[in-house]
Structure 1
Amino acid sequence: MPSGDLPVWTGRLAKAAALTAALTTMVFCCGWGGLAFEWHGFGGSSTAAHQGAATLPARIGAPSPWTPDAAEAPIGAASVLYTSNTWYPDESDWLAGLVARSDDTYRVGQWSGAAGMSSVLSPDGARLAFDSGIADLATGEVTAWGAQWGDDILVEPQAWAPDGGTVALLAGGWPDPGMNNGTTGLFLFDVATGTPREVARLGRVGALSGWTAAFSPDGARLAYQNGDRLSVLTRADGTTADVPLPAGARLAGKGAWTRDGRGLLVVSGAECDCGDHPIRWTVTTISATDGAQTGTAYTRDGIYALRVLGWWPSGEPVAVEYTPIEDAAPTVFDKPDSQYDLTSQNNIEAARLINLGTGARLTAGDELGLAGDVESIDVADDVLARGEIRPGSPPLLDVDGIVLALLGILTLAMLVLLSLGTWQLAAGRRSRL
């Protein structure tokens, strides 16, 4: 071999590296929006696997582009429902992510609605109420709400009764942010008969999905936001009593009732000099009969919104807290021109489940990736009631992981070509000396 020539294997390595770099570049340039990055559900069994005792995964993450379809490969029962609009480049806010009740099986469903705001899991995690109906997670089949609501009516499930037999729904025209120029109906939907019963007409600004309705622990009463007050419906006789609210406060979420059924949690926000996002949220316990403040108050600073899901066995409330994207404008409940932004995932960077008493994180997604992979969360009531946490193993190759892997491959291929080129130049110079 002449002194200026490299070993034969280096040429083969250079060709392989060049081909790898070319193919990787083609995936980036031509595959974006294609098979490599959009969701194309694949695999899974048509018969749902048995799910054991409910546990909460401490870590969850964006589904991979080939996560099985929950309609074709049912998950059986879920511990967590989560949503985001950053999973795939063709948007993801019309998809639902599901994590199994007792293991780290993942599924994606074409069941739209921000988790916990307009789509909610049944107490046992076996069904999912969303804008078009109720999905049976053991079979993948969907039962529509019925013909009483047409395409021009937005249906937003808010909460399940503890026995799983009734769903509280908001149903009305599509909201015009900042305009209280219409009403939205609050309905109790009987799952067995498929019959809705309207229990109230709410001003459209007051009917804010995620912070509107909560069933009492025994299911006998329904508390709901009714303008600047709470109304408590006794289901047995249909009577309603109003409860005054602190200024600027509203029902804290579907888990707002205290465990003894005597109190309600309400949440309010106020501007403050307290971090990157200047809002302080306060959750207060009030009497369910006269609105007097009782019990503990909880505060969280610098976050975008706060919503209570239920209670941990130790006695502290469990909440979802949302962090904002960098340029999100601060807003609170008493700003009718912007309060609907609180329900929009477009302004949310990440959502996590926390113990509101201690501030400890219970469930969170990856906040170090290219985009927030968890922007809203709902958790089955049975999971919170058991209070057991498993480590959680989110999908490794979500879109972020694929992008980083491709960048790593491309970088390595280019380094190989650069090294071989430098070696070739150096060998050529030595041969001329």
Structure 2
Amino acid sequence: MRDLFATLPDDPPPLPPGYLDTVLARGRRSVRRQRIGVAAAWAVVVLLLAVLVVPGVPLPVQPAAPSTKPSLPDRFAGYSILTSTVTSAPPGRAIALYGYGNGEAFNMFQSLVVGADGDTYRRVDAMEERDQPSALLAPDGTRVLLGDERGATADLILVDLTTGKRRSIPLGDPVGVRLLAWSPDGRHVAYSAAPVIRTDEFGTVNVVEAQVARTGTLRLLDLSTGRSTELPAIKPAWTAAFAPDSRRLAVQVAQTAHLVDVDGREYGSVPIPRGRELAADVGWSPDGTFLATVPWLMDGPFNGTSGGDTSHGTFLWKAGDVEFVPVSGGGTAPAPVPDVVQLLGWRSADSVVVATINAAGHVALVEVHLGAGTRRTLSRFDTGSTCELGTQSCQVFDLHLATGLLTDLTVRHAGRPHRGPWPMVLNAVVGVVVLGAAFLLWRRRRTRRARLE
């Protein structure tokens, strides 16, 4: 080493002019670049957190304000596990309530409402907690009423879609419940109730509804007071529909529709043709002159002397026709409406909204003008292979529309679905992944810089 230094000249060559300033400037530039790189990396992290996590943070949510006219999307959004709940983010009034999903390999069903004032989708978590029981959507789309299909229940649950709050409506002694119809003014609900015994006769499907359909007694619930009135003469109550004045209703027992008022007085009856039943909840025409009937879903001894089956929990699949029966002796009934899977409501006295299904299994909502028979497709469901993690097609069941909104209904172009905040567990996982990736990036840059130095 000493010999090496001895070879160096006594006077080192002079540095080029401005050399020191150039070295210092380059050093500062390198530091600036490093700092800019670190800042850019953290900016990317913050941006990822904003894009991925912030949409899932449960911020205070205000339901969509009702627009001038309710609307229906021209296409319902597909299945998504990221759809939030009514409790977490109240959606406001809904135009539709339906079950959606599949269960080929494992159950991935959702009970959903879609907004009447925007493309808002929410899971009705109260229904999921009771294992997707049958439910009714209020005519004005602001509430959902549900029972319990797991066995006898001591209460009904009323869910307010504008606030997300729930109200328990006591029933007294536990009974099996089959919800039948909601009055147009929103005050009364007709349901059938009976003691139920858990049995394996029907497997795990419709245990409560099948037993109640055999022996259930009609009850009228006044939602303003929470009190139910039992009408023991109307038994077994099979299906029902309120008149447009909300003061009367038709209740089918065997092959007769009994006409009663909300005080329990019977004032008439209408024979229902064998093999047919009163269309559930929506069977009375807006002008009060006809009852709409549909074929039994399938034959079976569920209602004593009549056949049929409940449609709860059954995918929309079987097309039939809608036939009309005069409430009184006079009047000419409209021609039957063919190729209908489900009657969903009335736009007017001469126009109905129905669900249809094509050969490929795609469900659509169609407006049919009685008499002329002309049809207009209002909306379609996305039934592509997006269920069960993309391995199965999606199926629709338990479909209801907000019947009181159909008169003024418009059709809107479906935009990007607003599904609300993500589940907190998913937020935490995404946050950990993003922060972990940011830490590894910072650690790698720091190690690389240390090696260079």
Provide the TM-score with structure 2 as the length reference.
0.61
- Residue from 383, 389, 394 that aligns with 2:411: 389
| Kept after mapping to 2: 8 A contact 1:269/1:280 | no
1:281 aligned onto 2:320: yes
1:123 equivalent among 136, 139, 142: 139
- One of 237, 249, 258 as aligned partner of 2:276: 249
Give the distance between the partners of 2:358 and 2:246, measured in 1 at CA. Answer: 32
Equivalent-residue separation in structure 2 for 1:396 and 1:73 (angstroms): 11
Displacement after TM superposition at 1:314 (Å): 8.0
1:54 to 70, 92, 98: 70
Deviation at 1:378, TM superposition (A): 0.9
Q: Report the alpha carbon displacement of residue 202 of structure 1 after superposing the two structures with TM.
A: 6.2
Distance 1:270 1:155 in 2: 20
User: Is contact 1:267–1:281 with CA below 8 Å preserved after alignment?
Assistant: yes
Greater C-alpha radius of gyration: 2
Aligned length, in residue pairs: 319
Report if aligned partners of 1:57, 1:390 keep a CA contact under 8 Å in 2: yes
**Could you tell me how far apart the structure 1 residues matched to 2:367 and 2:401 are?**
13
Matches within 5 A, 1:7-156: 43=58, 45-52=60-67, 53-86=69-102, 91-93=107-109, 95-112=110-127, 118-131=134-147, 132-150=156-174, 153-156=175-178
User: 1:254, 1:190 → 2: CA distance?
Assistant: 16
Choose from 345, 348, 352 the match for 1:317: 352
Matched residues in 1 for 2:222 and 2:355: separation? 27
Q: Alignment partner of 1:64: what SS?
A: coil
Deviation at 1:117, TM superposition (A): 9.2
Match of 1:161 in 2: 183
Distance 1:149 1:237, change over 3 A: closer
CA contact (8 A) 1:60 1:394 kept: no
Describe the shift of the 1:133–1:102 C-alpha distance in structure 2 as closer, same or farther (beyond 3 A). Answer: same
Distance (whole Å) between structure 2 residues aligned to residue 196 and residue 351 of structure 1: 36
Deviation string 1:57-83 (CA, Å, 9 cap, x unpaired) is: 221134421222111211121111111
Identity of aligned residues (%): 25
Q: Is the 8 A contact 2:93 2:142 kept in 1?
A: yes
User: What is the rounded CA distance, in whole Å, between the counterparts of 1:186 and 1:282 in structure 2?
Assistant: 27
The superposition leaves residues 242-271 of structure 1 with CA deviations (integer Å, 9 ceiling, x where unpaired) of: 211222111023221122101111122699
Q: How does 1:138-217 map to 2 (within 5 A)?
A: 138-150=162-174, 153-172=175-194, 173=196, 175=207, 182-200=214-232, 207=238, 212-217=239-244
- Once the 2 structures are TM-superposed, how far is the Cα of residue 148 of structure 1 from its aligned partner? 1.5
3-state secondary structure, aligned to 2:274: coil
User: 1: CA distance between counterparts of 2:208 and 2:92?
Assistant: 37
Q: Is the counterpart of residue 262 in structure 1 residue 289 in structure 2? A: yes
Q: Unaligned stretches of 5+ in structure 2? A: 1-55, 148-155, 197-205, 299-315, 386-391, 420-453
Cα pair 2:319 2:357 within 8 Å, conserved: no
1:156–1:169 contact (8 Å) kept in structure 2: yes
Matched, 1:353 2:388: no
**1:112 partner SS:** helix
Counterpart secondary structure, 1:74: coil
Instruction: Kindly provide the CA deviation profile for residues 69-105 of structure 1, in whole angstroms up to 9, marking residues without a partner as x.
Output: 1112111211111112429975244x42111111001
Judging changes above 3 Å, is the alpha-carbon distance between structure 1 residues 48 and 284 closer, same or farther for their aligned structure 2 residues?
same
User: Residue in 1 aligned with 2:257?
Assistant: 230
Distance 1:394 1:200 in 2: 50
Contact 2:98 2:399 in 1 (8 A): yes
Q: What SS does the corresponding residue of 2:405 show, helix, strand or coil?
A: helix
Amino acid at match of 1:100: G
How many angstroms does 1:192 deviate by? 1.1
Change (3 A) 1:242 1:96: same
Say if 1:228 and 1:244, in contact at 8 Å, map to a contact too: yes
Normalised to the residue count of structure 1, the TM-score between the two structures is 0.64
> Which AA in structure 1 matches 2:294?
V
Distance 2:208 2:179 in 1: 19
Shift of 1:108: 0.9
Calculate the aligned-residue CA RMSD, in Å: 3.8
Q: How far apart are the structure 2 equivalents of 1:127 and 1:177?
A: 22
CA deviations 1:343-365 (Å, max 9, x no partner) are: xxxxxx66432224434332221
Other structure's SS at 1:213 match: strand
Distance 1:278-1:45 versus aligned 2 partners, 3 A rule = closer
- Are the counterparts in 1 of residues 276 and 295 from structure 2 also a CA contact under 8 Å? yes
Mapped to 2, the partners of 1:181 and 1:123 lie a distance apart of: 24
Contact 1:59-1:394 at 8 Å conserved across structures: no
Distance 1:249 1:314, change over 3 A: closer
Q: Following TM superposition, by how much is the alpha carbon of 1:43 offset from its aligned partner in structure 2, in angstroms?
A: 3.6
Aligned mates of 1:180, 1:382 — CA distance in 2 = 28
Residue 156 of structure 1: how far off its partner (Å): 3.2
How far apart, in 2, do the equivalents of 1:177 and 1:269 lie? 15
Residue type at the aligned position of 1:242? S
